[in-house]
Amino acid sequence: MTDRRRIVAGNWKMHGSLVSASELAGALAATTHEAGRGLPEVIVFPPFPHLDAVRRVLEEAESAGTLAVQLGAQDLSIHEQGAHTGEVSADMLLDCGCSHVLVGHSERRTGLRESDELVARKFHRAADHGLIPVLCVGETLPERRAERTAEVVLRQLGAVLELCGGNMFERAVLAYEPVWAIGTGHTATPEQAQQVHTLLRGEIARTNAKIAVGIRILYGGSVNGANAAALFAQPDIDGGLVGGASLDAKEFLRIIAAV
């Protein structure tokens, strides 16, 4: 057993409205964790236009002493500021109350053709500005079938290590998200996930052993209330990055309870 504090993170993707996002945040925040101790870190990643409203709901609940939920964004720009229409800077996210930001989600790598190099630059920008980057890596189904999983995730991680160095992972979070498991209902088995998590931790250890022991590595891909406990029981799975199931407060709270 390690003393790594678990994390349950909810990626709300491009779902919901201002009203539904606020209600969902309110439902999560209103849940007081009975034990108090042993509580995982909970982070939600709403769409950009909902960040401020969600922040206000979370801040109100915080002062009432309920479940602390942190706020994250789903993306950031590599640019500081300037003529970059549609982009959102690290400082803007900090202004909105974000502590975390996703980088390298497969829907951006694939759908928006974000390269390993661009992802690495986003990671650097986030960490350099005091945001905690949540770096997502994962293989597609053809890559898994071709037994290229290790090669792919190490390449994705390697691009960030090369640009940023191992020390920049001190405040970072890693997420292994096999692309074939995202939104499909086909969860990786706990053993499949554990194998990749061990590999990722080992790779970080090659640059900094201390950071490797402490870094939280989340599993993402069709996590729900029924399968979460078995996944989180693995020694190198330090929580989950949850998409679909994080949009339902009850289901998301079941996952939190599984930790």
Residues 171-230 contacting ligand PEP, CB under 6 A: 177, 182-183, 220-223
Using DSSP bridges, classify how beta strands 41-45 and 69-73 pair: parallel, antiparallel or unpaired: parallel
72: left (phi over 0), alpha (psi -120 to 50) or beta: beta
Please state, in angstroms and rounded to a whole number, the distance separating the CA atoms of residues 184 and 221: 8
User: Is 114 part of the annotated catalytic residue set?
Assistant: no
From 50, 100, 105, 124, the catalytic residue: 105
| Beta partners for residue 241, in sequence order | 9, 220
Asked if residue 10 binds ligand PEP (CB under 6 A), the reply is no
Instruction: Give me the 12-51 binding string for ligand PEP, x by CB under 6 A, dash otherwise.
Output: -x--------------------------------------
Binder of ligand PEP out of 25, 135, 217, 241 (CB under 6 A): 241
**Cβ distance to ligand PEP smaller for residue 103 or 212:** 103
Asked if residue 243 binds ligand PEP (CB under 6 A), the reply is yes
In Å, what is the CA distance from 36 to each residue of 40, 61, 65, 229, 246? 10, 15, 10, 19, 21
From 177, 197, 203, 251, the catalytic residue: 177
CB 176 to ligand PEP: min, Å: 10
For 128-140, letters b (16+ CB in 10 Å) and e give: ebebbbbbbbbbb
Binder of ligand PEP out of 244, 249, 253, 256 (CB under 6 A): 244
User: Is 177 part of the annotated catalytic residue set?
Assistant: yes
Residue 73 exposure: Cα atoms within 13 Å on the Cβ side:
25
> Residue 124 is inside which H or E element, if any?
helix 116-128
Helices 18-29 and 249-258, packing angle to 10 deg? 40
- What is the torsional sign of CA 204, 170, 8, 139? negative
Contact window for ligand PEP (CB under 6 A) among 19-27, 145-153, 227-235, 237-245: 237-245
CB 238 to ligand PEP: min, Å: 15
**Cβ distance to ligand PEP smaller for residue 156 or 208:** 156
* Tokens 């090369």 belong to residue: 162
**Cβ distance to ligand PEP smaller for residue 51 or 137:** 137
**Cβ distance to ligand PEP smaller for residue 104 or 166:** 104
**Cβ distance to ligand PEP smaller for residue 183 or 235:** 183
Q: Which residues bind ligand PEP (CB under 6 A)?
A: 11, 13, 177, 182-183, 220-223, 241-245
Catalytic positions? 105, 177
